[in-house]
Amino acid sequence: MRNLRLIARLDVKMNWLIKGVQMEGWRKVGDPADFARRYASEGADELLFMDVVASLYERNNLHDMVQKVASEIFIPLTVGGGVRSTEDAGALLSRGADKVAINTAATRDPAIVTAISDRFGAQATVVSIEAIRRGPGQWEAMTDNGRNKTGLDVLEWAGEVERRGAGEIILTSIDTEGTGKGYDLELVKAVSSRVTIPVVACGGLGDSGHLAELVGQTEASAAATAQALHWGKLTLGDLRQTLAEEGCFVRPLPTDAA
């Protein structure tokens, strides 16, 4: 039975949960800790926190929030943004993060992937890839929430980070992110076929049918969603039901056994 994890993504700016479209036009949503607790209770398998202004301030500002949330919920937390060294990674892990996600620093010096993996393990080392389509079957990796070009081919980059010790890839399609029009299935299929490590599909989930397409047409290991949950277009209950209908394992909740 296939196990596809449901991940609630929370983009944070200065203590606010925010959401945009194609990584632009950010709007305030609410208190990220409140949303994190709610999603954990409703059946998210994991939470993904991303500090969207970490590159601007050259540090991750989520330490206190991560420590607070980790003390209250008991599902895995991945935290990204502004991780530039093993010390940065260790600071987040020591506060309760289970995994750290790196992007900009890895594109500048891929050796950081190996350094974090060697010190904390591949299971804690995640590379976030922000992909923008450049042509048929071609995507470029971007950084800083899709603002800066790297010149890196996404498929080649995905293979390299696996070789360097990454244990997971968060794959965000800039073209579909925040649109609610569905995942870039071609992108997910291409990256999943290039690597053997788990690939988290991110960007575009707008209805339960999009999740069913992801299950049926790709080898993604997880589905991350933000907008549809934040604005109440979908619930985690809806997504859990879709997974069950598609023959996937669905983690029981305490209320399920009541």
The residues annotated with a catalytic role in the active site are 11, 130
**What does the alpha-carbon distance between residue 26 and residue 120 come to, in Å, rounded to a whole number?**
33
Phi/psi at 170 (nearest 5 deg)? -95, 115
Q: How far apart are CA 175 and CA 119, in angstroms?
A: 34
Rounded-to-integer distance, Cα 184 and Cα 133, Å: 10
| Two structure tokens written together for 226 | 């933000």
Alpha helices in 18-80, H assignment, sequence order: 32-42, 54-57, 63-70
H helix or E strand, kind and range, residue 106: helix 104-108
* Two structure tokens written together for 22: 């194609």
d(CA 104, CA 175): 19
Detail the DSSP E strand segments found in the chain: 5-13, 16-21, 24-30, 46-51, 77-80, 99-102, 125-135, 138-143, 148-153, 168-173, 199-202, 222-225
